[in-house]
Amino acid sequence: MSHQAIPLPPHDEARRDRAKMRLYVLCQAIGWGLFLAVQVFFSINFKTREAPHETVMLVATLVMVSALGLLLTHYSRAVVARLGWRDLGWRALFPRVFVMALVLSALWSAVGYGYTHGVLRQPWESKYSGWLILSISWINGATLLLGWFSFYFIYHLFDRFNRSEIERLRLMTVVKESELRALKSQVNPHFIFNSLNSLRALIDEDPARARLAVTQLANLLRYSLQSTQLETVPFEDELRVVNDYLALEQVRHEERLRLRLDIAPETLHLPLPPMLLQTLVENAVKYGISQRPEGGEIAIIARSEAGFLRIQVTNPGELPSLSAVVPRAVAGKPATSTGLGLRNAAERLRLLFGENATLELRSAAPSLVVAEALIPLRLSVA
């Protein structure tokens, strides 16, 4: 069984990640470099040393302490990411960060003083006890680490806000593109021209059916113009306008176009992006019915499964090549409007419902193509 996921426009996530990493490295270097410079300045200017080698030893110790602080903060990022703390609110985050700062500061002080006085055997020169100095160092280190974590999480808070704003703007852009697609593609002049030609033939042959077809065409035009202002519509509304669309297509294709509905009643009130089902059905008519002299059956299947709305539209035919789905000029021909519709539909699904929403084409059996949309029942929360 072959699959074709509907392609999405390329993103600049890799570039953003590289920029964030460069900023992080720069901030770490500047921050810990300033910390080391301040420690060296005060230690040399406010402490009396009798021999130059003691000053060298002091500077080396401060370099080791600063490097240890850099390593502790660097590797704590992995712990924070693994535990998912960057997505927590401040009430849940603060006690966790406070405890982590205390633990890391205790480790920082223990390793620093242990290495200096235990490994290097430097003499204890302070008039205060080691436990008092160690406690003060522990408190100072925890305060410094709390400041580091505050800057770290504030940055990620603004980064998350910026991402949500970018997603919102992208969604607005896609919605506007969908409006243009609805005007230029789904209810395009070519379709209206064919429908009017069919209506002209019906006026003399079957006036009642002609009046009904006029109503169906008006319903389709009205829905395509009004629904694009909404993020989601009930599946029942989408199904109703698709029935009008297929009724108009049956005027033209007659017995070549057959429809089978397999709709679970509980799916009728579930939300989906407007014109999504219309896009899938239009694709089925264009590639499955119009290109086959004998026509065939289009089936619309809808189920509610484990927190998802699953919609399948099947049509006879072979899976179109990528060039038939992705809009581009081929041999001087204009890009296919349906390909643009499918790509926009996939992007709207991702922006509205998150990465769990999917839209794909696949070959389910010989001479049978399935377009399937899997839609979470809850909107994505940025």
What does the pLDDT look like over 93-130, one tens digit per residue? 888 889 888 988 888 888 877 777 766 667 776 677 77
Does the pTM exceed 0.95? no
**Chain segment 222-240, per-residue pLDDT in tens:** 887 777 677 889 999 999 9
80 Cβ contact partners less than 8 Å away, ≥ 6 residues apart:
86, 152
Per cent of the chain over pLDDT 90 is: 15
Domain residues of the chain, as ranges? 10-183, 189-376
CA–CA distance, 315 with 299 (Å, rounded to integer): 7
Q: How confident is the model at residue 28 (pLDDT cuts 50, 70, 90)?
A: confident
Q: Which of 250, 273, 271, 278 has the alpha carbon at shortest distance from 338?
A: 278
Beta bridge partners of 157: none
Q: How many CB atoms lie within 10 A of CB 371?
A: 25
Q: What is the mean pLDDT of residues 16-37?
A: 84
Position 269 pLDDT exceeds 60: yes
Position 9 pLDDT exceeds 90: no
Q: What is the mean pLDDT of residues 342-367?
A: 83
pLDDT for res 54: 67
Q: How confident is the model at residue 46 (pLDDT cuts 50, 70, 90)?
A: low
Position 194 pLDDT exceeds 60: yes
Rounded (10°) angle between helices 337-353 and 276-284: 150
CA–CA distance, 19 with 11 (Å, rounded to integer): 14
pLDDT for res 65: 83
Q: Taking all residues of the chain, what is their mean pLDDT, rounded to a whole number?
A: 79
pLDDT for res 379: 63
Q: What is the mean pLDDT of residues 27-51?
A: 77
pLDDT for res 334: 38
Position 187 pLDDT exceeds 60: no
CATH superfamily of 189-376: Histidine kinase-like ATPase, C-terminal domain (3.30.565.10)
Tracing tokens 């080396």 back to the chain, one arrives at 60
pLDDT for res 327: 36
